[in-house]
Structure formats: structure tokens, C-alpha cells
Amino acid sequence: MSTELRIDEIGYWSEVKLAILDEYAKPYNQILHKRRFKTMYIDGFAGAGHHRAKGSNRVIEGSPQRALNVQPPFDYLHFVDID
């Protein structure tokens, strides 16, 4: 098992997917918290907390970091990945 941190390169469509997560997660959590529901975020292909935009050195927050930043916060978070 390697302890070296690897930052994946992601393309345009992955950036779009992450933007959709940002737009959806906050209102979803706000609505459910107002109704006193417990919220859970499960990411079966979480990847790293940060990525690099393909062809540049621009750093992009990954889905785990974005989920952790959602306000109000999720009550439970589960991140799964191969590494």
C-alpha cells in the first residue's frame, strides 16, 4: 500500500458533475433539516478531496470536500474508494 498522495486529473464533465453536487446538496439538506430529518451523504466513488483540472495546475475540490462543506452539514457521511 502506497502512502504517496495522488491527485487525479479530471476533465470538463467531472467538473460539471461536481458543480451539480454543489447546487443540489445545500437546498436538499436545508429542506430535510427543516423537517427534522437526519441526512446522509454516501459517495461510492469518492476519490480524493482535491483534483487537478486536466491540462492545468488548477486545483478543484473533490466530492468529499464539497460534501463536508455543505451547510447545514450532513448528519452522516460515508466515503468509499478503492484507495
Asked if pLDDT for residue 19 goes beyond 90, the answer is: yes
C-alpha triplet 26, 72, 20: angle, nearest 5°? 15
pLDDT on residue 8: 85
Cell, residue 65: 470536500
pLDDT on residue 5: 66
User: How far is 35 from 60, CA to CA, in rounded Å?
Assistant: 32
22 is in which domain, residue-wise? 9-79
Asked if pLDDT for residue 26 goes beyond 60, the answer is: yes
Residue 4 lies in a domain: no
Whose CA is closest to 8, among 64, 60, 52? 52
pLDDT on residue 49: 84
Please give the tally of structural domains in the chain. Answer: 1
Place of cell 488548477: 58
Residue 24 lies in a domain: yes
Residue 52 lies in a domain: yes
Q: How many CB atoms lie within 10 A of CB 67?
A: 23
